[in-house]
Structure 1
């Protein structure tokens, strides 16, 4: 096109041109204050970093089990741009239960150390009400329950605080296997489960502005289920609560790409971006640097944020 020629907004006839408006989930309460930070989830995607203080964690296999390493990993995540840090003291996978007292000893000192040096959102990945109570007292601002309120006392503990509650879809009892899961319609079934748990949490006193939903990729689901959840995630987002997509290095990524856990970054980022395009507003990720860049780029493509700067083809000289 010659210099100075006008550009056309679209080469398609008006009847065929697609809307430039991004998909935005119909959030009941789009602006959330979580601890010291405020998020407008109609325009922002939060990156949740993962730090596990377990010797047998799913991905890092004990790399951050030692106290000093766990604390260092938390502050490194903050320095790399994480909006919040999710600290876990017990794995989800089937196995022997971690005693509640031991889980408290694993996570609470890390929460205290991180809170002393940062206003980042801190969540604790636990299904025990006792762990939740101690974690909130230590400075945690979110309880991330991956078992769908298996402990009936968990919601009341959160309700008695200012903390936010993540409600996740999963069917098995904690640390129990659930072979060959079946769903008539995985998205519809997950939606019904989540709404029932929302009712349960709100009946216990947790207000809707302190509830986040997670469809639970891979949790009691096979790879086909998790792929369909990702493809149809907008139906979960349409429930009206901020949606968390915990897709990082999951087995559905590995099985799709035939990739071991150490080689799932690209697939994890693709799943996270697709989830955001379909309404997710929080992504739980292991590689913070790559995930923050991917989310900021996705926000810009969706028109939710401006580029960091504009230079290319913006002046008389082609840069």
Structure 2
């Protein structure tokens, strides 16, 4: 049974699990500002949201302090620390759940691990100066992601000769580099990076061929919730993409993804429960 050790907690990945998104940011594309009050983290709102997500079935909460939506501006390390660390501390103190931290900053990784985080989730795949060394020192599982360009420019006409092959080549090369640096293979997760330097057509190809990514032998995280590819296909704005998000989550689960990163936890958990009931009845 595949079990991921996340600090002082464990995560059973024999079946797909749900990761709830908790953005302590003012400008994330879907839920920006919801956990802030007058520009500062509102811990009462944080704990209420976190408790609800755990009650709804999330086994992981992904805490981020820097928006990575297309065109987003970077934040200082100090600002990111002020947003993220109190959230991690509060959740770790109050709830029995694996805490993931969505960051590229080595300082945030180190502080979050000390505060109770159990997973490091980096859209830049630990390429920022000092990030890989920090990840090795933290001795936590890590998630690496493919992104063409950076959040400021990634949606400026992204182009590939073969998007699936190029995404796979990058992820496997980076996973190899992490292992050489001292991170065990069983502590590495892959994320194809839906929406990060990809057109809708690229994203659809990556969803369709997700089993090829899974076949590489690493647990795969899929983050499709409310993404622009759903809006493009269904002609829905960001607040009206629940049906598309659930469909995408189920397609990812069917394709072999083990972690589904979502905004709508209860609805996704229900969909997974029904899917499991159907598959177990075969």
TM-score, normalised with respect to structure 2: 0.93
User: C-alpha separation between the residues in 2 aligned to 1:85 and 1:58?
Assistant: 18
Whose helix proportion is higher, 1 or 2?
2
SS at match of 1:160: helix
For the 8 Å contact 2:4–2:10, the answer to whether it is kept is yes
User: C-alpha separation between the residues in 2 aligned to 1:302 and 1:191?
Assistant: 28
Q: Give the equivalent residue in structure 2 for 1:53.
A: 24
For the 8 Å contact 2:5–2:141, the answer to whether it is kept is no
Pairwise CA RMSD of aligned residues? 1.6
Alignment partner of 1:200 is 2:171: no
Q: Give the equivalent residue in structure 2 for 1:116.
A: 93
User: C-alpha separation between the residues in 2 aligned to 1:258 and 1:183?
Assistant: 25
User: C-alpha separation between the residues in 2 aligned to 1:108 and 1:276?
Assistant: 31
How far is 1:70 from its partner? 2.3
Deviations 1:251-284 (A, max 9, x none): 0011110000111010011011011111101000
- Tell me which of 202, 221, 235 is aligned to 2:212: 235
Note the 1:122-201 alignment, pairs <5 A.
Answer: 122-173=99-150, 175-201=152-178
How far is 1:177 from its partner? 4.1
TM-score, normalised with respect to structure 1: 0.82
User: C-alpha separation between the residues in 2 aligned to 1:90 and 1:53?
Assistant: 8
Rg comparison, structure with higher value: 1
Deviations 1:95-150 (A, max 9, x none): 33200011001000010000001220101111111111111111111111012223
User: C-alpha separation between the residues in 2 aligned to 1:195 and 1:296?
Assistant: 31
User: C-alpha separation between the residues in 2 aligned to 1:157 and 1:138?
Assistant: 15
User: C-alpha separation between the residues in 2 aligned to 1:138 and 1:175?
Assistant: 30
- Tell me which of 99, 108, 114 is aligned to 2:76: 99
- Tell me which of 49, 58, 64 is aligned to 2:35: 64
Structure 1 unaligned segments of length 5 or more: list them. Answer: 1-28, 307-319
Residues 35 and 298 (structure 1 numbering): CA distance in 2 closer, same or farther, change over 3 Å?
farther
Q: Give the equivalent residue in structure 2 for 1:17.
A: none
Deviations 1:154-201 (A, max 9, x none): 222121123110100002135444411111111111000001110121
Deviations 1:230-271 (A, max 9, x none): 111000001100000100000001111000011101001101
Residues 125 and 175 (structure 1 numbering): CA distance in 2 closer, same or farther, change over 3 Å?
farther
For the 8 Å contact 1:155–1:206, the answer to whether it is kept is no
For the 8 Å contact 1:249–1:265, the answer to whether it is kept is yes
**Aligned residue pairs, count:** 275
Residues 202 and 174 (structure 1 numbering): CA distance in 2 closer, same or farther, change over 3 Å?
farther
Q: Give the equivalent residue in structure 2 for 1:246.
A: 223
How far is 1:37 from its partner? 3.7
For the 8 Å contact 1:212–1:244, the answer to whether it is kept is yes
How far is 1:44 from its partner? 1.2
SS at match of 1:151: coil
Q: 128-137 or 31-40: which moved more?
A: 31-40
Q: Give the equivalent residue in structure 2 for 1:38.
A: 10
